[in-house]
Amino acid sequence: MQSNLEWFRTFKAIYETGTMSGAAKQLFITQPGVSLHLNALEGYTGFPLFERTARKMIPTEKGHQLYQQVIQSLSGLEDIETRFKKKAGKERATVSVGMCVETFQHALEKHIPDLNFNLIMQFESNPLLTLALERGALDLILTSEVSTNKALTFSAFTVERLVLIAGNKVNLEAIPDFDSLTKTELKAWLKEQIWYNTASDMRLLNTFWEKNFNETPDFFPNYIVPNKYSILRCLSRGEGFAVLSEFLCVDALKEKKVFKVWEGYNPIENTLYFGKRKQSLLMDEIKALEKMLVNEFLETDVIAN
């Protein structure tokens, strides 16, 4: 097990402020993050470094010894850090956010130059984002799955609709009338087409297929590309089909680069949620990000073909 410099910085902050919350404020991180660092450091050293009381963190003898050994080195590093920070102006909070990369590119990327706080992005699956939120590694996530963890809160902010998208060079007149086909006939026709998907997320295609045909797809897509915007770029230049979230396709649909050909027998919609901890020192920054994202989705004009 390797140590982490941030563990020692967190230990120093707890020692000097006397509380977990005080350390969190000093370091501009979350209290669960402070706890995570301290637990990791105690696991690394093999000794409890503080006695935890209701109001104060009291250093143990090992805690006093460790502080005396690291204080000079840490103070030197912090002095260097401070001199560099002065050139950039006042200290900024740092917010860690998790979502899918396409949502980031669609709704948040353009706003980054205007933020007055630091931003660290993480792109993972819904379960891994929730786990990171629980552990204090993330401050805000966008997810279609909610957790029962009582320390977290989830609020719905938009709905994504899954649609079948056809490429620019697909002969639309050759597409059969889906309503006139039986499920078996439609399923057979679709399986004969060229399909795109991403390596990291089979969820959309699987969900769409299961909801419409009561089974998982038994075929493998022809092209596996890095992300959903890669799919759109490929479809805008050729043939093929893909299941995508409609809000990601808005611009391409308006410009007739791709075409929406089917919403399924019944529209398939997933609610998207903001997930965060009920208590956070970064609530102002989190609210600013939420407002930005809500406005982006309100302005998204999803059109029907």
Contact 132, 122 (CB under 8 A): yes
Residue 155 reports pLDDT greater than 80: yes
Please provide the average confidence, as pLDDT, over all residues in the chain.
88
| Position 301 in a domain | no
Percent of the chain exceeding pLDDT 70 equals 91
| Position 296 in a domain | no
The answer on 166 and 149 residing in a single domain is: no
pLDDT tens digits along 204-251: 899 999 999 999 999 989 999 988 999 999 999 999 999 999 989 999
| Position 294 in a domain | no
Q: How many CB atoms lie within 10 A of CB 223?
A: 16
| Position 304 in a domain | no
Residue 53 reports pLDDT greater than 70: yes
pLDDT at 304: 36
Structurally, the chain folds into a number of domains equal to 3
The answer on 166 and 125 residing in a single domain is: no
pLDDT category at 303 given cuts 50, 70, 90 is very low
pLDDT tens digits along 20-45: 999 988 888 888 889 999 999 998 89
pLDDT at 50: 94
For the domain that residue 77 is a member of, what is the CATH number?
1.10.10.10
The answer on 176 and 250 residing in a single domain is: yes
| Position 61 in a domain | yes
Average pLDDT, integer, range 139-149: 93
| Position 303 in a domain | no
Q: What share of the chain is helix, strand, coil (3-state, %, to 5)?
A: 50, 20, 30
Tell me the backbone φ, ψ of residue 254, rounded to 5 degrees: -60, -40
What is the Cα 178 distance to its own chain's centre? 36
- Show which of 55, 88, 121 is a domain's final residue: 88
The answer on 132 and 164 residing in a single domain is: no
The answer on 124 and 223 residing in a single domain is: no
Can you spell out the DSSP letters for 145-158?
Answer: S----TTEEEEEEE
pLDDT category at 302 given cuts 50, 70, 90 is very low
The answer on 281 and 264 residing in a single domain is: no
pLDDT at 156: 94
pTM of structure: 0.63
Contact 104, 134 (CB under 8 A): no
pLDDT category at 197 given cuts 50, 70, 90 is very high
The answer on 209 and 64 residing in a single domain is: no
- Show which of 43, 66, 88 is a domain's final residue: 88
pLDDT at 74: 80
H-assigned helices in the chain: 5-17, 20-27, 31-45, 61-88, 101-103, 126-135, 183-191, 203-213, 228-235, 250-254, 283-299
Least confident interval from 88-102, 187-201, 212-226 = 88-102
The answer on 52 and 15 residing in a single domain is: yes
Residue 265 reports pLDDT greater than 60: yes
The answer on 190 and 264 residing in a single domain is: yes
pLDDT at 69: 87
Range of the domain at 262: 160-269
pLDDT tens digits along 56-79: 999 999 999 998 888 878 877 766
